[in-house]
Chain A
Amino acid sequence: MDEDKIFQYLIGQQENNQLTIQKQMKDLMACNDYTKQFGIQLSEKEALDLIKERRENLIRQERIEFGEGIITKLIFTFCDSTYIYQDNYVETIQRLQEIFYLYKNESLDELTDDELLEYMKEQLDGKCQGDLDYLEDTALEAFARKIRCGWDD
Chain B
Amino acid sequence: MLEYEMEELVPIVAKLTEQYTSKESSSIRFETARQLMEAAIYCIHHSEYMVDNNEKSSAYVMVNRAEHLSAKEAYEHGYHILVEKVKRLNVKYSSLLSYFNSYRNQAYYDTIVKGMPAFFLYYDAKFAPQNHILTLDYPTLRFIGDVQGVDAIELYLNYTEYEQTFLKAFPEEYILKTLELYHTDYEELLINVCSIVLRNVLVCMWIDKPISGNRFTKNEINYIQDKILEKGQLEIEIIIMNLLQSLIRMGFEDNKELLEYLSYDIHEFSTELWNAAQYNNVNILLGGEKA
Contacts and interface: CB of A to CB of B under 8 A. Distances in A.
Contact of A63 (B3, B28, B34): B28
Given A1-B3, A6-B9, A7-B37, A69 B26 contact: yes
A126 interface: no
A93 interface: no
A104 B26 CA distance: 10
A9 B9 CA distance: 10
A113 B30 contact: no
B6 A64 contact: no
A67 B26 CA distance: 7
B156 to A, nearest CB: 24
Nearest to A8: B6
Given A7-B34, A13-B10, A64 B41 contact: no
A109 B28 contact: yes
A82 to B, nearest CB: 26
Task: Categorize the interface residue count of chain A.
Answer: 20 to 34
Chain B at the A interface: SS class: helix
B10 A58 contact: no
Given A3-B37, A3-B38, A67-B14, A9 B6 contact: yes
Contacts of B37: 3, 6-7, 10
Contacts, number: 71
Interface string A1-37: 1010111011101000000000000000000000000
A112 B24 contact: yes
B185 to A, nearest CB: 41
Given A1-B4, A3-B41, A13-B10, A70 B26 contact: yes
Contacts of A13: 10
B25 A112 contact: yes
Interface of A: 1, 3, 5-7, 9-11, 13, 58, 62-70, 73, 101, 104-105, 109, 112-114
12 contacts: A1-B41, A9-B6, A10-B10, A10-B13, A63-B28, A63-B30, A66-B14, A70-B27, A104-B27, A112-B21, A112-B24, A114-B24
Given A3-B34, A6-B41, A65-B27, 14 more contacts: A1-B3, A7-B37, A9-B10, A63-B28, A64-B17, A64-B30, A64-B33, A66-B14, A68-B26, A69-B26, A70-B27, A113-B24, A113-B25, A113-B26
